[in-house]
Structure 1
């Protein structure tokens, strides 16, 4: 193989296929089309004169050759990522693109007013918003900055807790007029409830408050928080949403202030090397102030 003419993008396709086990899943993860990924793998196998994957009805099965090359390929990929991070950090101009990762509710409801103000404060910065309820990998440059509900544990990341997301029981005026307003925790089993599907935190919370298993009368189950919020606003039942969401609709009323619901920490994370980039540091500092101001104060017992 002629190293000087080697196409390094083939390594990205190889690792995507290795990680996801099929061209379809690799295409969804990378944004590269299935035919292109297939051509990349065929070209790489031709250049190496090795069979890297067995094509089966269930996807791609890595051969021993592929597994033997995996670590070296990952080292090459990390070297490329480090090169990119250092190049980004070398730029001191407050202009260019910044990739920001946030969950669906944060991206759809909390961030938009802030991004409008960011546009005025940093007119030469363009935000690429990665909307995902999974944790974006900052080390692989899936994002430059991430708003997370969990603290990253990688030593090369800088994370700052910038606030707390307070959760509240709530319902629309339409629902409350039809079904009445619960005054005590004991009233909840008589009300229609919107809760998670695979995520059963609401069910476990009911049981922790002393309700028997199965006491929750769920009329809608979905793990999509935007769907839950839309159902609350439509008057379907009682939901358990963040305060910043509830504040966006005056027709939705908070309920049962005595209800013991957790406050979730909000973390702002960035790769350590990228903090030397003026544009990324400017966006980081802007969001640190804006998000902290938009969220509820730190609740008692959660300081630290």
Structure 2
């Protein structure tokens, strides 16, 4: 394969297949049809003159030649990511797209005023808000800016600490009609707490450290979605710890136990150091920091 004929898409198809473990999973990851991805992998094998995968049955197994090429291909991918980041960082245009990621509840309840501000300050700039509880990879350009609740530890990122928020215990008036309004931590033992799949008891631990007398038997129903759980709270199905900024923007919820010490939640605004030289991303970053109280 001569340098002038090099097709990065073929290497990308190879690496996606290695990392995903199958053609079908890699095709979903890249947004391609499985036959298209299979043809790209076969084209790379033909161009290099080597067999990259053995295909016993439906499985894919890297050959020795494939294993030797993986690290080289991975280095090429990192170089391509760096090139894209550097090029984006040089852009001084105040139009185009900036992608911001935040947890769903923040996106729905805290960021609408910021989006209105962006329309006023930079009407030609399009902000795409990725509402996702899973962490997006800024180096891989899954997003340009992230709002996170933990300090990032990935190399190459720029982080700014914003004003911390707090989590407190909330419920709806209809919940109090069913279960009564607790006056202290001991009376919380008779209540119901919305459970979150994957929480591993962290919410209970925070509440019990603050004097609540609750156990796993108090948790039901369960969900894996913060937005669903918060809607359940609003409907009176149970209590939940929630960020103050979200609760303040949600009508129809009240503090369950005002005397309980709040749970401090850090807020970090994160971008990539290369991208932070882009005028449009710097504008969005700075206005977000202003909105979040940097």
TM-score of the pair, normalised by structure 2: 0.90
Is this contact kept in 2: 1:53–1:66, CA < 8 A?
Answer: yes
Q: Work out the number of aligned pairs and report it.
A: 293
Is this contact kept in 2: 1:172–1:252, CA < 8 A?
Answer: yes
Determine the C-alpha separation between the residues in 2 that align with 1:60 and 1:48: 19
Aligned-pair CA distance for 1:59: 5.1
| Residue equivalent to 1:136 | 136
Residues 161-195 of structure 1 show CA distances to partners (whole Å, capped at 9, x for unaligned) of: 11223111111111112221111111111011102
Aligned-pair CA distance for 1:207: 4.9
Residues 26-46 of structure 1 show CA distances to partners (whole Å, capped at 9, x for unaligned) of: 334333333332222222122
| Residue equivalent to 1:246 | 247
Q: Is residue 235 from structure 1 mapped to residue 230 from structure 2 by the alignment? A: no
Is this contact kept in 2: 1:89–1:273, CA < 8 A?
Answer: yes
| Residue equivalent to 2:184 | 184
Runs of at least 5 residues in structure 2 that lack an aligned partner in the other structure: none
Residues 229-274 of structure 1 show CA distances to partners (whole Å, capped at 9, x for unaligned) of: 0110111011111112212222110121332442111111111111
TM-score of the pair, normalised by structure 1: 0.88
| Residue equivalent to 1:297 | none
Runs of at least 5 residues in structure 1 that lack an aligned partner in the other structure: 294-304
Q: Secondary structure at the match of 2:17?
A: helix
Q: Is residue 36 from structure 1 mapped to residue 46 from structure 2 by the alignment? A: no
Bigger drift between 235-244 and 260-269 goes to 260-269
Q: Secondary structure at the match of 2:246?
A: helix
Determine the C-alpha separation between the residues in 1 that align with 2:15 and 2:30: 11
| Residue equivalent to 1:80 | 80
Is this contact kept in 2: 1:189–1:215, CA < 8 A?
Answer: no
Determine the C-alpha separation between the residues in 2 that align with 1:39 and 1:103: 38
Q: Is residue 156 from structure 1 mapped to residue 156 from structure 2 by the alignment? A: yes
| Residue equivalent to 1:22 | 22
Aligned-pair CA distance for 1:14: 1.7
Q: Secondary structure at the match of 2:143?
A: coil
